Amino acid sequence: MWIRMCLVSGVVAMTMFQSGCALFRMKVQDDDVNKMPTLDQNYGPQDLRRLAEQVSDEVAKSAFIQEQKDSPIMVIYGIQPRTTTFVDTQALTDRIRTTLISSSKIRFVNETRRQEVMKEQGFQTANATDETRVSVGKQLGAKYMLTGSLVEMQKESGRQVRVSKTELSYYQLTIEITDIETGIIAWAMPPKEFAREASKPLIGW
């Protein structure tokens, strides 16, 4: 009887132990990128996708682009991150450029690969046949430069008797197109603004 009770207790303990371990196992699942949840008040993937779509749409449909006789050649020198937390603005400019190229409204100089292009041209000049060698000095120059900035401001509720605190993040994105020859700003997008608020408990996890 005693041995049977010990065996039953051991089985129960092992079952509980295994169930407890399952609670701490990592869970992995695929998410729909079109329905990603907002986990906090900070800039996230859903903001990157939305802003890139809005900027690309406004640039492509702007009177400035529509008045161009041919698809203008541009260079992107990035969006300046003026944020307190890290924001990958390079990912934003890459997405904007890819979308605009797909629209066939604008052509872009590949400024991030200039060294590789020049290296390949030098290699071909020294080693490739006349029939396959590219001509050096025939790269097209950009007429316009696309730049911008992403500003972030954060605020949180002040000291007072409370069980939670509120954190607010405000973002503003500006984009402008500059004529490289004259230095004149040829077009500027109205600022894109959004804010997000999060209420966090002071007690708990």
142, 133 Cβ separation under 8 angstroms: no
Report pLDDT digits (tens) over 17-31.
Answer: 555 555 567 777 776
Report pLDDT digits (tens) over 22-57.
Answer: 556 777 777 666 666 776 778 888 989 999 999 999
- Greater pLDDT, 33 or 178: 178
Residue 111 has pLDDT above 90, yes or no: no
Q: Could you state, in order of their start, the residue ranges of all structural domains in the chain?
A: 65-113+140-205
Per-residue CA distances from 10 to 6, 14, 15, 88 (Å): 6, 6, 9, 53
Task: Count the neighbouring beta carbons within 10 Å of the beta carbon of residue 131.
Answer: 5
pTM: 0.74
Stated as kind and residue range, the H or E segment containing 174 is: strand 164-179
Nearest in space to 172 (alpha carbons), one of 197, 146, 151: 151
- C-alpha 45, offset from chain centre: 6
Which runs of consecutive H residues, i.e. helices, occur in the chain? Answer: 2-23, 45-61, 63-66, 89-103, 114-127
Bridge partners (DSSP) of residue 164 are 201
Report pLDDT digits (tens) over 116-139.
Answer: 888 888 888 888 888 888 887 778
CATH topology of domain 65-113+140-205: Rossmann fold (3.40.50)
Q: Which token pair is 48?
A: 């990157």
